[in-house]
Chain A
Amino acid sequence: MNRTAAVLALLLLVLAPPLVASNQFLLHLGITVLLWTLLGAAWNMLGGFAGQVSFGHATFFGVGAYTTLILYLKAGLAPWYGMVLGGLAAVLVSLPIGLICFRLRGPYFSLSTLAVAEIVRLVALNWEALTNGPVGLLITTLPRVALSGRTINWESKLPFYYIIAVLALGAMLATYWLTRARLGAYLLAIREDEDAAESIGIATVRAKVLTLALSAFFAGLGGGFYGLYYRYVDPDAVFPIALSVEMVFIAVVGGLATVTGPVIGAIFLTSIGETFRERFLVGHLIFYGLFMMLVIRYLPEGIWGGARRAWAGRR
């Protein structure tokens, strides 16, 4: 079933955009879904596999976004390199955060990530020389790029769709690797019983810090893409608590520690949320909260986990 789902998803990724290219809203929805898939998958690596609930992933997203835009505006570096460097900057930021916060466990870890994220947001808000403070950073034009002789039209949403599709796919592949790799097994052991994991010789802190770095890299890439797509960042857009919380919800509602879960979560929550936002402007997170509560009560493995179980039960 996993393989069928993967093939179907790939087909959808490649075929869908030309079909809906005339409809800007659908294309925008597709991009948003893929961005949230990427972010949900990034959070899932740490939260799903290792059971470390971070409420501060907006930090990595924001660092990625700011790095990309600052490098472009101040050093003239093309944003696609900036995006990768944004991911790496997020990795750098994640190391001290991991070393500090991983000294705490369970809910205390979650609270500490919340505090760190708020500190970073306030620094971004007040370090005007670097971030331009609450005004934010704006880019007006993107550099000319020619791909096999044709200039890419940045005014269209289509190239962005393909970029984010590749990034989201990368995050899913990394998650798939985690399900196979030794590190992934370590993380599951940590999630089930951290003391036991340590007693059988797993370097728990190292495993968690490594995973946080991986997770931060993808969240940073997502932030870089956000900066590129919206061409504007400010602290309230890229560093809020709500952003961190949304990542958590996508992964939990979709299904923790699964490859497909974040996709399902993103498709489900983002389409409901964006449709609601189109119509009512505010309050689109009502359903995020509602589905979070329903899933934890009735489907603790998430939508995908539950579906997979139902499928296995039928056979």
Chain B
Amino acid sequence: METFVQSVVSGVLTGSLYAMIGVGLTVVFGVMRIINLAHGDLVMLGMFGAFWAHALLRIDPFVSIVLWVPLMFLAGMLIYRFLLKPIIPGGELNTLLYTAGLSLLIANIALFAWTGDYRTIKLRYGLTPLRPFGIAVPIPLAIAFLLAIIITACLYLFLARTDPGRAIRATSQNPEAAALMGIDVDRISMLTFGLGSALAGAAGVLLAPSLYLYPTVGELLVAKCFVIVVLGGLGSVSGAIAGGILLGLVESLGAVYISVAYKDTIGFVIFLLVLLFRPSGLFGVGRT
């Protein structure tokens, strides 16, 4: 029983961060119909941002987030404006290949600059976990979890209550109709890509103290985020949140009750099954 609770807790903690990465990917897909294969590499940039801020300037990773989120937002808008925008008319497959190129470029520049060494961020409060009710909760992961909830909630409110948020949702439902209603779809796309990148960067910063850092970590993360967004339905924000938590749970329970070696396989098998039989996602809210 204790093992079960323990793995549910760690599944939800990791899942909240997965959810944040997935939300970024799914918002971008919703508005632009771009499957951004470079999303994982943006997370990687966030991780290394946190690492260098900590290593060089002694800034706590969770504090450095106030620096990296605006920077990643700006970077995302620039990537959209100068790199992606000219490609989008070429069709979905071209943009897919293009973002694959972008992903390889970012990962390999990072590899060149920082080598392939595995790095970790050592925090003083990361050594002994909290033990509420006998369950081990690593403090950095707990802080990351809380911040992830706050950030995701803010995003949710932004999308639901503000004018730009409504414009994003409108564009996501129907770009032509949104344009006819006077929404500047191009500006909304730029804003959305900035948001998606900022979310990826923030998730990277939050994950950094709990994972090994290396330049090609994005490859692993991007595969996981596709599992998440397809589980929840491509284009659906609440679906991505649920999908993220679900994948976190599947992984941690799978590792305990099925096999540690095959825990990642379970995610991919579910992914294939959902893609084949419920292409609009488990909750039927995404777009096929």
| Cα(A280)–Cα(B268), bound, Å | 35
Residues of B within 8 A of A112 (CB): 272, 275-276
Instruction: Check if A296 sits within 8 Å of B94, measured CB to CB.
Output: yes
Instruction: Check if A296 sits within 8 Å of B101, measured CB to CB.
Output: yes
Question: Is B262 part of the contact surface with A, judged by Cβ < 8 Å?
Answer: yes
Of listed B35, B105, B109, B279, residue having the most chain A CB within 10 A: B105
| Cα(A291)–Cα(B269), bound, Å | 33
Residues of A within 8 A of B268 (CB): 115-116, 118-119, 122
| Cα(A249)–Cα(B37), bound, Å | 14
Instruction: Check if B271 sits within 8 Å of A115, measured CB to CB.
Output: yes
Within 8 A of A (CB), among B249-277: 259, 261-262, 264-265, 268-269, 271-272, 275-276
Instruction: Check if A53 sits within 8 Å of B93, measured CB to CB.
Output: yes
Which of B86, B111, B219, B227 lies in contact with A297, CB distance below 8 A? B86
Interface 1/0s, chain A 111-126, versus B by CB < 8 A?
1101110110011011
Residue of B nearest to A191 (CB): B93
| Range of interface residues on B (Cβ < 8 Å) | 35 or more
Question: Is B125 part of the contact surface with A, judged by Cβ < 8 Å?
Answer: no
Instruction: Check if A293 sits within 8 Å of B102, measured CB to CB.
Output: yes
Residues of A within 8 A of B111 (CB): 282-283
Known: A118-B223, A282-B116, A292-B98. A123 touches B105 (CB 8 A): no
Instruction: Check if B271 sits within 8 Å of A288, measured CB to CB.
Output: no
Question: Is B18 part of the contact surface with A, judged by Cβ < 8 Å?
Answer: no
Question: Is A159 part of the contact surface with B, judged by Cβ < 8 Å?
Answer: no
Known: A112-B272, A289-B101, A292-B101. A107 touches B108 (CB 8 A): no
Question: Is B133 part of the contact surface with A, judged by Cβ < 8 Å?
Answer: no
| Cα(A292)–Cα(B105), bound, Å | 9
| Cα(A282)–Cα(B116), bound, Å | 8
Residues of B within 8 A of A53 (CB): 93, 96-97
Question: Is A285 part of the contact surface with B, judged by Cβ < 8 Å?
Answer: yes
Interface 1/0s, chain B 98-114, versus A by CB < 8 A?
10111111111101110
Instruction: Check if A300 sits within 8 Å of B83, measured CB to CB.
Output: no
Residue of A nearest to B98 (CB): A296
Residue of B nearest to A276 (CB): B112
Interface 1/0s, chain A 230-271, versus B by CB < 8 A?
000000000001100100110010000000000000000000
Instruction: Check if B219 sits within 8 Å of A242, measured CB to CB.
Output: yes
Residue of B nearest to A290 (CB): B105
Within 8 A of A (CB), among B205-228: 216, 219, 223, 226-227
Known: A123-B265, A283-B111, A285-B104. A111 touches B226 (CB 8 A): yes
Question: Is A132 part of the contact surface with B, judged by Cβ < 8 Å?
Answer: no
Known: A115-B268, A297-B86, A297-B87. A284 touches B97 (CB 8 A): no
Residues of B within 8 A of A55 (CB): 100
Instruction: Check if A122 sits within 8 Å of B98, measured CB to CB.
Output: no
| Cα(A83)–Cα(B276), bound, Å | 33
Question: Is A103 part of the contact surface with B, judged by Cβ < 8 Å?
Answer: yes
Q: What's the least CB distance linking B261 to chain A, in Å?
A: 4
Residue of A nearest to B113 (CB): A283
Residue of B nearest to A122 (CB): B265
Known: A122-B264, A289-B108, A296-B87. A252 touches B276 (CB 8 A): no
A-B pairs, top 3 by smallest CB distance, nearest first, are A289-B105, A283-B112, A292-B101
Chain B residues packing against A (C-beta within 8 Å): 35, 83, 86-87, 90, 92-94, 96-98, 100-109, 111-113, 115-116, 216, 219, 223, 226-227, 230, 259, 261-262, 264-265, 268-269, 271-272, 275-276, 279
Kindly list 19 other residue pairs between chains A and B, CB separation below 8 angstroms, not including A252-B97, A283-B108, A297-B86. A53-B96, A106-B93, A111-B230, A114-B226, A115-B268, A115-B271, A119-B268, A241-B223, A282-B116, A283-B109, A283-B112, A283-B113, A286-B105, A289-B103, A289-B106, A292-B101, A292-B104, A296-B87, A300-B90
13 of the cross-chain contacts (CB-CB < 8 Å) are: A55-B100, A107-B35, A108-B279, A110-B35, A112-B276, A119-B265, A119-B269, A241-B223, A288-B101, A289-B104, A292-B100, A293-B105, A297-B86
